[in-house]
Amino acid sequence: MRNYPLVGAIATWAMIALTGCETDTSASPQLAQKSPAQPASPIPQVKKPRDVAALARRPCELLTTQQAREFGLSLPPKQYDFVLGTLGCKWATTSDNQETVRQVNISTLINNSTLEVVYSKDQNRPFFELTSIDDYPAIATRTNKEIPICDIYVKPAERQSFTLTYESEDFRSNPQQSCEVGKQVAAAVLMNLPLKS
């Protein structure tokens, strides 16, 4: 299995981070206040916010050992540096000849409108689905319909998100299944995020 998921995820995260940092300083404050109302977002509001920031510096705790085993992921996971000083965590399962057969990468982003940016920028991907996972807004995308890799963006709280990339050689004959299992892994991650107080 190749490292396709990180390339797509890094490009998307960089776009999200840069878009989230854009500001227009050319308009005066008076003009900015008189602009017409922004159109309603297609991304629903979060009803029971969960705190991504609580585990952002400990991303390998986003899945428990038991959950990782249930999804057929090898332990221990490996933490890595990600974009803009964030951290990610990777769980990988390899074959006897050390080929990756199943992998999950999870990273977080705080203080950014990730889903809104993904919604506006990624709708032209071969697969794009605005959905919810356990009543939390989510988007599932696939950059190549022939490869069993799915990126899932979840919004557990306003301006907080996590991205989960799921890939599995088990789904070579039905690549879309990578999104279905990826959503199950994302639901497990949501259970591990504490409710915001």
Domain ranges of the chain: 4-15+57-192
Taking the C-alpha atoms of residue 49 and residue 110, their distance in angstroms, rounded to an integer, is: 13
Q: Which amino acid is at 193?
A: L
**Edge-to-edge, what's the strand order for the sheet holding 160-168?**
78-81, 87-94, 100-110, 160-168, 149-157, 136-142, 127-133
The CATH number of the structural domain formed by 4-15+57-192 is: 3.40.1000
Q: Record the pTM.
A: 0.81
Convert the pLDDT of each residue in 111-138 to its tens digit: 989 999 999 999 999 999 999 999 999 9
Alpha carbon distance 156, 133 (integer Å): 10
Question: How does pLDDT run across 11-61, given as a tens digit for each residue?
Answer: 454 444 444 444 343 333 443 444 456 667 889 999 999 999 999 999 999
